[in-house]
Amino acid sequence: GDSVTQMEGPVTLSEEAFLTINCTYTATGYPSLFWYVQYPGEGLQLLLKATKADDKGSNKGFEATYRKETTSFHLEKGSVQVSDSAVYFCALRRGDYNQGGKLIFGQGTELSVKP
């Protein structure tokens, strides 16, 4: 079945460091891919998305490119801030209506940014 695999955390970085969180997926067809962020004590917020191969999603300095050849959607940011400390989830959604649009999540990667 469909699945998403993320790099294990926690990831600890210093402020202004470069961030990469790896995400790979397994799915039939052409899923849409998402990164969600969960701040402590809060629900999930959509960070960025890409709906087809080679699309680049970007938001708040974060970027991820939908790579169909490597079935990957790695999250990157050039310079992290303390306020980026959160748990990041990679997710996919199958394109066929019969799947109902459910999201399939990776296990989450906790990011901690130190001043």
Partner 1 sequence: DSGVTQTPKHLITATGQRVTLRCSPRSGDLSVYWYQQSLDQGLQFLIHYYNGEERAKGNILERFSAQQFPDLHSELNLSSLELGDSALYFCASTDNFNEQFFGPGTRLTVL
Can residue 22 be called a binding residue for partner 1 (CB under 8 A)?
no
Stretch that binds partner 1, among 11-19, 54-62, 74-82, 100-108 (CB under 8 A): 100-108
Can residue 5 be called a binding residue for partner 1 (CB under 8 A)?
no
Provide the 3-class DSSP secondary structure of residue 46: strand
Amino acid of residue 34: F
Stretch that binds partner 1, among 19-27, 62-70, 74-82, 94-102 (CB under 8 A): 94-102
Degrees (nearest 5) of the Cα angle 10, 85, 106?
50
Q: Which residues touch 74 (CB under 8 Å, ≥6 apart)?
A: 20, 21, 22, 23, 64, 65
Residue closer to partner 1, measured from CB, 7 or 44 = 44
Q: Which residues bind partner 1 (CB under 8 A)?
A: 36, 42-46, 49, 89, 97, 99-108
